[in-house]
Amino acid sequence: MRLSSEALRELYQRQTTRRARAADNTCLPQDQLARAAAGELTQAERERAADHLSTCSDCVNEYRAISSLKSWAEDVAVDGLSQNGNVGRIRLVAPLYDKNRAASRPLSFYLPYAVAAASVVLSLILGTLLVSKWRENRRLIAQVDQEHSTRKTGSDETVESLAETRRLLDETTRRADQESAARRAAEEALAKRGANTNSRHDQRGSDQSSKADVNVPIFDLVPQGGQRGEQDVDATSIELPPDTDLFTLILNLSGKHSNKNYSLEIVDRNNRTIWTGRSLRKSAYDNFSIAMRRRSFPAGQYRLRLYGLDNGRKELIEQYAIQLAYR
């Protein structure tokens, strides 16, 4: 594809800017650009300036700006000379100094030349200021572009981070739903299994439950007192004959207790809870009674913990120990 002259010019301008040459710090100083526009460079400086101007469009624009100011200053000087009757170009090489002729000339003769020199100096100063502002504007534009690019990159990273967070949240929610569904299915299966087991137990014990139990043994228990919480204590030994399934325990108290509600907890030797009962009622003799079945409590050592319940607080008030033995 062939490029037009305008496209080539735009490509040159775009590829030779300071931003495109970020690692290159060989731009001409401001004073050297001003001297180049005034034609005051040496041969070596002119060659180096020409080499740089061929690869830096920003310096070319600055050089053209200073040159236009210099041309404007020269035009102003020429107009001043024309008004005084001296039409012509300012000569950079001064003529031989003639003392008598200089003494005979009036002051108004030198005024146009002074104006021309001041105009050239002013153009160089304005050119230097223009280059300085030009470079400052370029630096600010590059800084703004860099901040915009950084902000855009940070925004893209934030969007990616939010997307990743949303994906992880969706994945966690999906797993939680699966675990919840699996837990509900397991609970339903256990509930069905427990219902079937209870139904079979009720069928087996229906004949016995329909009959009254006679000769039910009764055992009085005294609290452990200062031995509460200890594992190895003297337990009340309870021996049952082979034909006895139901037995009753009388839980005596060591003192007066005025709790509103009471609960009882039975644990085995390994401190595992076997049975828990609430809403115990104290008898007129200031004690409690509990009936236990042989098939529900195998032979071994057990502890009975009596708690007082008041205003949502649970307080251990008595503890009993028994040793069950079956013949």
User: Which of the listed residues 162, 185, 210 is the one where a domain comes to its end?
Assistant: 162
**Spatial distance between the Cα atoms of 272 and 300, rounded to a whole number of angstroms:** 13
Instruction: Say whether 67 sits in a helix, a strand or coil.
Output: helix
Q: Which of 10-14, 98-102, 150-154, 285-289 has the lowest mean pLDDT?
A: 98-102
- Domain-located, residue 238: yes
User: Are residues 153 and 232 located together in one domain of the fold?
Assistant: no
Task: With cut-offs at 50, 70 and 90, classify the pLDDT of residue 292.
Answer: very high
Same domain, 19 and 149: yes
- Give the single-character DSSP code of 254: S
Using an 8 Å Cβ cutoff, are 212 and 308 in contact? no
Q: Which residue has the higher pLDDT, 277 or 99?
A: 277
Domain end residue (candidates: 121, 141, 162): 162
Say what the pLDDT of residue 146 is.
79
196 domain-assigned: no
Whether 194 is in a domain gets the answer no
Nearest Cα to Cα of residue 129 among 121, 47, 113, 50:
121
Average model confidence (pLDDT) across the chain: 76
Kindly state whether residues 133 and 270 are assigned to the same domain.
Answer: no
Q: Do 31 and 142 lie in a common domain?
A: yes
Categorize the per-residue pLDDT at 20 as very low, low, confident or very high, splitting at 50, 70 and 90: low
Q: Is residue 173 part of a domain?
A: no
State the CATH number of the domain containing residue 236. 2.60.40.10
Residues 66 and 138 in one domain: yes
Pairing relation of β-strands 313-326 and 236-240? parallel
Residue 19 pLDDT exceeds 90 = no
pLDDT in tens, 91-117: 333 444 444 554 555 555 555 556 566
More confident residue, 273 or 114: 273
**Cα(232)–Cα(228) distance, integer angstroms:** 10
The residues that bridge with 218 in the sheet, in sequence order, are 248
135 lies in the same domain as 235: no
What mean pLDDT do residues 237-242 have? Answer: 91
Task: Give the pLDDT confidence score for residue 70 in this predicted structure.
Answer: 65
Tell me: do 130 and 230 sit in the same domain.
Answer: no
157/54 same-domain check: yes
From 138, 162, 186, give the residue that closes a domain. Answer: 162
Residue 211 resides in a domain: no
The model's pTM is 0.37
Q: What is the DSSP letter of 223?
A: -
The DSSP line for 166-195 is HHHHHHHHHHHHHHHHHHHHHHHHHHHHHH
What is the pLDDT confidence band of residue 227, given thresholds at 50, 70 and 90? Answer: very low
Mark whether 222 and 152 lie in a shared domain.
no
Q: Which residue did the predictor score with more confidence, 82 or 228?
A: 82
Q: Is residue 212 part of a domain?
A: no
Select the more confidently predicted residue: 124 or 275.
Answer: 275
pLDDT, tens digit (0-9, with 9 covering 90-100), for 295-323: 899 999 999 999 999 888 899 999 999 99
Q: What is the pLDDT of residues 45-92, one digit of tens each?
A: 888 888 887 778 778 888 887 777 666 656 655 555 555 544 444 333
- Any domain includes 190: no
pLDDT of residue 94: 40
Query: Is residue 135's pLDDT more than 70?
Result: yes
Rounded percentage of the chain residues whose pLDDT exceeds 90 = 21
The distance of Cα 181 from the centroid of its chain, to the nearest Å, equals 32
More confident residue, 193 or 281: 281
Q: Please give the DSSP secondary-structure letter assigned to residue 257.
A: -
- The tally of domains found in the chain comes to 2
pLDDT at position 3 is 60
Q: How far apart are alpha carbons 268 and 272 in whole angstroms?
A: 6
- Domain membership of residue 152 (yes or no) is yes
Instruction: Provide the 10 A C-beta neighbour count for residue 230.
Output: 11
Nearest to 224 by CA among 257, 267, 262, 253: 253
- Output the pLDDT for position 97: 44
Q: Are residues 15 and 148 located together in one domain of the fold?
A: yes
pLDDT, one tens digit per residue, over 141-197 is 888 887 877 777 767 778 888 888 888 999 888 888 888 888 888 878 877 776 766
Same domain (yes/no): 140, 237: no
φ, ψ at 319 (rounded to 5°): -145, 140
Beta strand extents in the chain (DSSP E only): 218-221, 236-240, 246-252, 261-268, 273-278, 287-293, 300-310, 313-326
Beta bridge mates, 310:
313
Domain that holds residue 134: 5-162
- What pLDDT is attached to residue 79? 58
- CA triple 7-10-11, angle to 5 deg: 85
Domain shared by 11 and 135, yes or no? yes
Q: What angle (nearest 5°) sits at the alpha carbon of residue 21, between those of residues 16 and 23?
A: 165
